Amino acid sequence: MVERCLAVWRSVGLSEKPSVEWFPRKVVPFSAVYSKLFDTAVASDPDAVVLAEQRRSAPLHNLRDHIPLSLLPVIDIGGRAKHFADVHFDLMDQASWIETARCILEFRGRREGLSPFVRASLDPQTRLLAQAFVSARQLTPIRCAETTGGICYPGFPSAEHTVPLAESLCRQHYMKRTFFDRLHECARCGSRRLSVREECNACRSPELRQASLIHHYRCATLRPEAEFRQGNLLICPKCSVQLRNYGKDYDKPGQTQICSDCNRTTSEPAVGFVCLDCSTHADGDTVKRADVHAYALTAEAVAALTKPVDSFAIKGLPQALVADLRQLQAMQATAGSNLAVAEVRYGARQSITQARGEPVFERLRALFLENLANFLAGRGTIYPGETADYLLLDDTGERVGTDIDRLLAQGQNSLSEDLSPRIRLATSFKRALP
């Protein structure tokens, strides 16, 4: 069987035994057989990760949080990973042999198509883009009761890690998102595992019972049947007339809900939510809503990932700065003055936001950048970013280091609070003369 499998692999182009890493540990049953199919020696450039988790209760939604090797296919040999793995391998199923070989080859080919910079990058956003590219997968959520977020993204890290990165990449136009579902979220603990129930509008009790309504034509009263019932008779509680003939004296226009706690009656009960994790209650009109999206690579992201040289865009720079840097880089002429990109981050961002709110911080940040622009006066350009701001500075070299203190002092001038700004030189290069 081993020789047949290897022969099938060779027939589809997998000429050598694939080098693999085992997760979480090497499987004991059939280990001798697997050793003949997979090269399990420690390798610097493995082809795949073999998932050998035998525990039926082991969670899968966070599988990619624990596998240290990214950009590699996950081969499931246990049969329970399903869409959380990239391919399923079964010793007794020849079709799975072919699927496994093709999966390894396709991952290898797309991995080789990445630029060297992307393959070597440890930046989380870059790794997420690269993983989506080599796996040829969209970031498609599925509902998952095992996690408090209510969703997970098979083939990618858990949602709490993936979604912030994907949202940031959407703002940078490297991913596009499509609506998947709208969930409700606990305001106290953030869980989306909520119980939805009908409740009394008055006391919010969920103990409602259904009852038929009776409409008395003569006096136009409309009340639950229990209020008319006196033994075997129907007596109107308003005018005390006995109702004898259905359709002539009265009818039953529908149902109503009666609260067992406060005895209030309503035909339209309220909707309430109770968190299954912390028991916090929320009304239907005040509960927090959370939209869930699927994400896919844009054409710009694919171009940046496969570009043979370092792509400025992958660094998460603002689009305007990326465009200017690409234009400068594309110029073919004698090198002129030095240029540098400096990154500005604000150490007091979190404390100011928590104490005074995001709008206050953004106003202080805008004033800081305005002060910098006035100080630079043509010697540099400012590019506001998402979580950091960037400066494209002229005449760099030793002057950058000596001017940093002056830049920071000028930026802080007249600000009501200290932003604790930090400037870091991101990159430098020669500007081409026109």
Rg (CA), the chain: 32
Could you tell me the pLDDT band of residue 31, with boundaries at 50, 70 and 90? confident
83 sits in the region (left: phi over 0; alpha: psi -120 to 50; else beta) called: alpha
* Structural domains of the chain in order of their starting residue, each with its CATH number: 2-113 (no CATH), 201-268 (no CATH), 317-432 (3.30.70.270)
Q: What is the 3-state secondary structure (H, E, C) of 249-282?
A: CEECCCEEEEECCCCCEECCCEEEEEECCCCCEE
Structure tokens at 50: 């073999």
**Interior CA angle at 269 toward 266 and 273, to 5°?**
155
Looking up tokens 């993983």 gives 131
Q: What is the pLDDT of residues 293-313, one digit of tens each?
A: 999 999 999 998 988 654 555
Q: What is the pLDDT of residues 347-365, one digit of tens each?
A: 888 899 888 888 888 889 9
Under 8 Å between Cβ of 23 and 16: no
Structure tokens at 396: 């760099």
Could you tell me the pLDDT band of residue 27, with boundaries at 50, 70 and 90? low
- Which of 178-187, 214-223, 404-413 is the least confident region? 404-413
Structure tokens at 179: 């609506």
Distance CA 226, CA 222 (A): 12
Residue 335: the pLDDT is 45
Distance CA 17, CA 101 (A): 10
| Residue 291 scores a pLDDT above 90 | yes
Percentage of the chain with pLDDT > 90? 44
As a 3-state breakdown, the chain gives helix, strand, coil percent values, each rounded to 5, of: 35, 25, 40
